[in-house]
Structure 1
Amino acid sequence: MPATRPSSPAVTADTSAAASAPPKRSALAGRLAKLGIHRDADMLLHLPMRYEDETRVTPIAEAMAGAPLQVLGVVEHAEVVLRPRRQLVARLRDDTDVITLRFLNFYPATLKQLEVGARVRAFGELRSGFWGEEMIHPRIQSVVEGEVLPAALTPIYPATAGLAQSALRKLVMRALDRHKLSDAVPEAIRRAAKMPGWERSLRFLHQPPPEAHLDALEERSHPAWRRIKFDELLAQQISLRKAYAARRAHAAYELQATGALTARFIAALPFALTGAQRRAVDEVSRDISLAHPMQRLLQGDVGSGKTIVAALAMLQAAENGYQSALMAPTEILAEQHYRKLAGWLEPLGVQVAWLSGSQKKKEREAMRAKLESGEALLAVGTHALIEDSVVLSRLGLAVVDEQHRFGVRQRLALREKVVGALPHMLMMSATPIPRTLAMSYMADLDVSVLDELPPGRTPIVTKLVSDKRRDEVIARVRDACHEGRQAYWVCPLIEESEALQLQTAQDTFETLRAELPELKVGLVHGRLKPAEKAEVMDAFVRNDIQLLVATTVIEVGVDVPNSSLMVIEHAERFGLAQLHQLRGRVGRGAAASSCVLIYAQPLSENGRERLKAIYETTDGFEIARRDLQLRGPGEFIGARQSGVPMLRYADLEMDIDLVEQARQAATEMLEKFPAEAEVLLERWFGGRADLLKA
């Protein structure tokens, strides 16, 4: 093609020329802020999602349907037609053939660009239509005779309303021109990791040459992308290491193991601890005897015995005269912990106080007084524990169960009950964390893993059943309860939702009570008053209720060994981790246990993958790995993400080798290149790296 320098940026068919110009500064700042762009460094790291090749023109006769391409020609006809709907239809001819351009939404500026005789380039995907080969809503640009094609691939950036691609591209180019693109990673580390230079990589991704490998760019496997992802992972690892070191700089009470209470507790247990439990107990015991605060995550599959490990740590604190607090996310779970711990510890002389939002004022004040005086050495409760009125002046150990359900501020509030020395923190999770996620997002924590189940736990058989076979499932519930066992029937909603068409807990309760008149059927859900919930759960524990219809309030912590059957209604609507947690409510005794997953057709692809995963394995760590693949890390780690810089570009499955390299490089940078480490943190997080507090 004949050439001069490119003229004005392309005008998209659905955007006016005015709209594509950069907006006024104040409006522009607000729109950029929606994209997380507040400064030049953020603009440089706002990288393309994909690219379009406008560096070449395809003759119309050679254009192939199904792939994006660019044609250039003269408009030989253009008109607005009103049927079957109002649209702009134009014909573009080059030396080889003619093609139809069709616009369902358009502005006067588009009509002006497509006047008969106008010379334009059109970029879009060719498809067969009513008028023959056509492009629907192509991006068009007026060109003059002799105008050159772009010299680089066209980047397509994540955008927001009111900010056109052309405006974003201009802003990125300005930032590249005025920002010093110094390499924050020392050459020795960069060479060891076999990474290209920073400036070269960044410019390549914003302006790739026409010969660049598009697949490698869009799959983010190109060396330039690997450099970006390496730096991102390295910045994250450095921030986590710094947070870890900052915590260790604080003082904590040295809770030495005397064995006075722990030995008596272990001797009284009717079973032996597993090897994994003994290992975790030793790790926690060693940590809380040191003069800096423990920050340990105890993770284990459903039923692996985390509570006993926590109980032994709390007894070690009590041996030293210090208090412990255990905070759980729901009242059902917190009350179950209270009952279990009171039964274990009060015979040893350790008083346990219980605090919840539903307590009567007199009872709550009595519990608070016991804690304030030090008479009670253990507090168990919900968020009520972090209220200002609760005084724990000798708090030596804070335990947070299902830690991913609490935000950073809530975890901090428990730790901040003490002035001066910080309490040791033990966070527990029954959602095992895949190794790649632990290496990346949990690198600031010490991790103990319970990777074996106590003996006597029976395997759970999982069955997938269509909702058309509901009668067979009800018959199975009847049989299990007639044998003296108990069952759960879990539903995702409390009341009718027309949009989702789900069976509700209330309706299911009424149906099952009518279908199974010989059984006592109970109902528990989140809208019951706490006292009503407790009454229903107590009746279920005593076997006064044989079938418990419930929402997901029973997801964690509920332990009724006589329950051998779990039915989950509309299982396709639940998350994978949630299904695994619910399934773990059975199989806690010696009886053979089953989990029946009732699903409705049609299944989405994601729903099918979740049910396939839960059917194929009961291994929580394998389920966690698949869950990470399906959901991604942000959703997987839950509320913790509000305190950890999230990864934007690195992929934990694809880039595991980069995670390993970044872990090693982070140690070297903090030891040998602390100034460069700070530059890297500022570049990626801009002052947000100090969020890692809890």
Structure 2
Amino acid sequence: MGAQLAGRLAKLDLHRPEDLVLHLPLRYEDETRLTPIAVARPGFPAQVEGEVISSEVTLRPRRQLVARVRDASGTLVARWLNFYPSQQKMLAPGSRVRLFGEVRGGFFGDEMVHPRLKRVEMGEGLPEALTPVYPTTAGLGQATLRKLIDRALASSSLDDLLPPTVCGALSLPSFADAVRALHHPAPDADPAALEQREHPAWRRIRFEELLVQQLSLRRAYNARRARGAVALAARGELTAALLAQLPFRLTGAQARAAGEIAADLAAPHPMQRLLQGDVGSGKTIVAALAMLQAAENGYQAALMAPTEILAEQHWKKLAAWLAPLGLHVAWLSGSRRKREREAELERLRSGEVLLAVGTHALIEDPVTLPRLALAVVDEQHRFGVRQRLALREKASVGEGAALRPHMLMMSATPIPRTLAMTHYADLDVSILDELPPGRTPIRTRLVSDARRDEVVGRLRAACRGGRQAYWVCPLIEESETLQLQTALDTFQALTAALPELRIGLL
């Protein structure tokens, strides 16, 4: 294989024969039958065969190759805006050709633009099966791809991950049969099932992809559990004191999640757990109990949130809960004064302060947490993988250099448990599936923009009744690419519509 061809294949991430085997068709074309020119429907692909009655290169309105092809039912115009001398030779008058393409109405009648062209003899046979069409890149034709894939199918080992008994129980074909059926569909294969990915071969490929993903995630899970972490014994000193002073009792779901997390923290391998619960389900108190378990053992814990508003909300709540216990919670954000910030950093660096809350400021270079044993990330989907890892790496100095901190990620995204277990197969998952007493269920309504005045009226009524309202916009300022309502425009509109109310802009 030449360097040029290898470079084009690399653009499709095709480097090995196995990659070619799994480079599956994007769609299929039916070249198993001929359509008379007179009955070919505009807007639909068709294959026609006929005699070339004329062929010429015209210069107006632009240079193009134009040919007329005739069969027993009618005549069709074919045109190529980009063409090769070999195509001109194939379209010599009197030649017999097959054209495959989409028919459309033209100035001189029905035509095909850039149809696939093949020179044939009278009575030449047709393919017996559908023709696969693959994802490709510039300079890499379908014919070349088909040859390379056929060669890979012949030389590659198509061993099955699943035993025959499992395939039989799930009504799945073998892996080898599945890939061969997709690259070379049988003559009686259902075209609709192939196009809509409902064919048994596609079901097997989907199953294979999911199985391999789960196996790889499970390997990562097992590798993580093989690493070392600080075993944080559940001493119950600070956690019991916090629970005793709270003006509320934990829900059953909170108690269950806290117990699962406490057991993980006591293990000598790093926890990696997702705490999932809707807004108002009480994730913060569960995180606080986990952070206290680290403090009880003389280690540090840090909570990182994506926005300063959310991080400050967590800090104020934790500070109010933990101040009576004699614990200081450091607050790190980009908006703090330099002197205050440096003082907090020094106390964290020395290990005097065991608990910290902040935004991305937590993962900046000046921050050092030498005894970090637990990292909590709220709204974890708002952070990139590197950002989450950067918080973990804050423990890479000092006595914990050889140990990984425990990780607790929190999310309010309402993913069903089964889907969460699938998507986060490398995580353990705790679900807060009940709201604390007194919390009313959240009701969501979709309202047309034409009823915006009604929404504003509801806001006025709610605020006059002593309540608060939030109006969330997707953009802050106007964008050239996104036609969405901005916060600035909405602020001005609401200020004009509700002059009697005090409206703030965050």
Match of 2:398 in 1: none
3-state secondary structure, aligned to 1:400? strand
Aligned residue in 1 for 2:227: 250
C-alpha distance after superposition, 1:543-600 (max 9, x if no partner)? xxxxxxxxxxxxxxxxxxxxxxxxxxxxxxxxxxxxxxxxxxxxxxxxxxxxxxxxxx
Q: Structure 1 499/412 Cα, relative in aligned 2: closer, same or farther at 3 Å?
A: closer
Instruction: Provide structure 1 residue ranges, at least 5 long, that are not aligned to the other structure.
Output: 1-23, 525-694
Q: 1:348 aligns with which of 322, 325, 329?
A: 325
1:322-374 deviation line (CA, Å, top 9, x unaligned): 21111112222212211111111122122211122333332222111111222
Q: Judge which range, 470-479 or 40-49, deviates more.
A: 470-479
- How far apart are the structure 1 equivalents of 2:309 and 2:88? 65
Corresponding letter in the other structure for 1:157? Y
Hey, what does 2:76 align to over in structure 1? Answer: 100
Partner Cα separation in structure 2 for residue 354 and residue 177 of structure 1:
63
1:75-101 deviation line (CA, Å, top 9, x unaligned): 22345678888766543222x312423
Specify the alignment match of 2:279 in structure 1: 302
Contact 1:87 1:102 in 2 (8 A): no
SS in 2 for 1:490: coil
State the percentage of identical aligned residues.
66
1:207 aligns with 2:184: yes
TM-score w.r.t. structure 2 length?
A: 0.90
Residue in 2 that maps onto 1:415 = 392
CA distance in 1, matches of 2:430, 2:183: 43
> 1:286 aligns to what SS in structure 2?
helix
- Larger RCO: 1 or 2 (CA < 8 Å, sep 6+): 1
Counterpart pick for 1:447 among 411, 429, 433: 429
Partner secondary structure for residue 489 of structure 1: coil
Paired AA for residue 272 in structure 2: Q
**Secondary structure at 2:137 match in 1:** coil
**Does 1:223 find its partner at 2:200?**
yes
Q: Structure 1 residue 487 and structure 2 residue 469: aligned?
A: yes
Whether the 8 Å contact between 2:77 and 2:110 is mirrored in structure 1 is no
SS at match of 1:393: coil
- In the other structure, the counterpart of 1:70 is 47
- Structure 2 residue 306 is matched with structure 1 residue 329: yes
Shift of 1:107: 2.3
CA deviations 1:7-46 (Å, max 9, x no partner) are xxxxxxxxxxxxxxxxx94443333233222222111111
> What SS does the corresponding residue of 2:235 show, helix, strand or coil?
coil
Q: Deviation digits for residues 475-496 of structure 1, max 9, x if unmatched?
A: 4333332222222222222333
1:138-160 Cα shifts (integer Å, max 9, x gaps): 32222244644334421111122
Equivalent residue, structure 2, for 1:315: 292
Q: How many residues get paired? A: 500
Q: How does 1:50-449 map to 2 (within 5 A)?
A: 50-61=27-38, 63=40, 67-78=44-55, 89-94=66-71, 96-103=72-79, 105-109=81-85, 110-127=87-104, 131-145=108-122, 147-187=124-164, 189-418=166-395, 419-435=401-417, 437-449=419-431
Partner of 1:523: 505
1:474 paired residue among 451, 456, 463: 456
Say whether the 8 Å CA contact 2:37–2:76 is kept in structure 1. Answer: no
- Partners of 1:480 and 1:361 lie apart in 2 by 41
Deviations 1:283-321 (Å, cap 9, x if unpaired)? 111111122221111111122111111111111222222
User: Structure 1 residue 501: deviation in Å?
Assistant: 4.3
Using the TM superposition, give the Cα deviation of residue 387 of structure 1 relative to its aligned residue in structure 2, in angstroms: 2.9
Deviations 1:99-155 (A, max 9, x none): 423437332545554333221111123456665554444322222446443344211
Q: Assess, with a 3 A threshold, how the Cα gap between structure 1 residues 321 and 164 changes in structure 2: closer, same or farther.
A: same
Residue identity matched to 1:372 = R
| Shift in CA distance, 467/239, structure 1 to aligned 2, threshold 3 Å | closer
Whichever residue aligns with residue 497 of structure 1, its letter is S
Instruction: Decide whether aligned partners of structure 1 residues 157 and 426 sit closer, same or farther in structure 2, where only a CA change above 3 A counts.
Output: same
Matched, 1:510 2:476: no
Question: Which runs of 5 or more structure 2 residues have no equivalent in the other structure?
Answer: 396-400
Question: Structure 1 CA distance, aligned partners of 2:459 and 2:40?
Answer: 63
Give the superposition deviation at 1:213: 1.5
Q: Does the 8 Å CA contact 1:155/1:206 hold for their aligned counterparts? A: yes
* Cα distance change, pair 485–280 in 1 and its aligned pair in 2 (3 A): same
Are 2:300 and 2:369, in contact at CA under 8 Å, matched by a contact in 1? yes
Alpha-carbon separation, structure 2, partners of 1:193 and 1:467 = 48
Q: Measure, in 1, the Cα distance between the counterparts of 2:139 and 2:379.
A: 41
What TM-score, normalized to structure 1?
A: 0.67
